[in-house]
Structure 1
């Protein structure tokens, strides 16, 4: 049974992302348009589960499965869409996961959602701290119950995500 762990921000998370991103640039090559550090480890100062979330953006999502063996070679387990249509998901670290990779085709709406959420928390530190406090409390309360942990933060995540999308649209109009 996996333990729900929320730890203080680790300044090494950014370099851990960079190391894996460099490997993925080699794996995906010409398919890769961009690669982003997303999730809570991408927000300086935010307590988080110590799992690095990476989002490669590719030209053609249907070609990503051709890279499954190369991803295995660098330690990742391919999981297909894993519950989100149009995504390819990989995880590293087995039961003690260290990295999640969420691959999307360019222009997929999930890309904007992930980037808006990350950037909003980076720009609104009070909300990031409020969210971190809730995560620490829930991790303590539900140490071995990931479903209850996720449900406990779901309402606040949806609220922040809505504000983040509105903020992103207002600040990134062309």
Structure 2
């Protein structure tokens, strides 16, 4: 993963269409275990620069049942990565080194579901914060020389601060 090169590109309205198409494939694959599939991450925020990778959040009734869907997800091109550093998550990626999709799955009620959704909604509702995040992302790409792990680390403080603000904002 750390060898993967990161680049950000201008917002593309096609990302919404790409998400909707993949959402239908995932629903057919996961079935009634999928309670909800959301478009998250920077490609879900109109106007925000982003890595051209569609991030999706799947809320399931049962992670064990989702694990049983792994062969079907692999048939769609997804690579299963297990929890991948976050207990209670199932993480899948698609596209190999030229990543096209990330799939983050959690059981109903997991706090990470709320965190991802609120951060997205907060950025959409606060254009000035979204613009600041775009600057942070652009600077992180330059400072990291496109290295994935360093790019992520350079964004951590901004994300942590604004995730906390997004939870407070939504509660108000």
TM-score by length of 1: 0.94
Deviation at 1:11, TM superposition (A): 0.7
- Alignment counterpart, residue 89 of structure 2, candidates 78, 87, 90: 87
- Alignment counterpart, residue 116 of structure 1, candidates 108, 115, 118: 118
- Asked if residue 107 in structure 1 is aligned to residue 115 in structure 2, the reply is no
Name the SS for the 2:128 alignment partner: helix
For structure 2, the 5+ residue unaligned runs are none
| Equivalent runs, 1:1-150 vs 2, <5 Å | 1-150=3-152
2-side partners of 1:100 and 1:36: how far apart? 12
Deviation at 1:145, TM superposition (A): 2.2
1-side partners of 2:170 and 2:115: how far apart? 9
Deviation at 1:56, TM superposition (A): 1.2
1-side partners of 2:19 and 2:104: how far apart? 13
1-side partners of 2:38 and 2:155: how far apart? 24
The alignment yields a C-alpha RMSD, in angstroms, of 1.0
Deviation at 1:60, TM superposition (A): 0.7
2-side partners of 1:146 and 1:101: how far apart? 17
CA contact (8 A) 2:7 2:146 kept: no
TM-score by length of 2: 0.95
Deviation at 1:3, TM superposition (A): 1.4
Name the SS for the 1:71 alignment partner: helix
2-side partners of 1:72 and 1:54: how far apart? 16
CA contact (8 A) 1:5 1:143 kept: no
Runs of 4+ in 1 over 3 A off after TM superposition: none
Bigger Cα displacement from structure 2, 137-146 vs 36-45: 137-146
1-side partners of 2:157 and 2:27: how far apart? 35
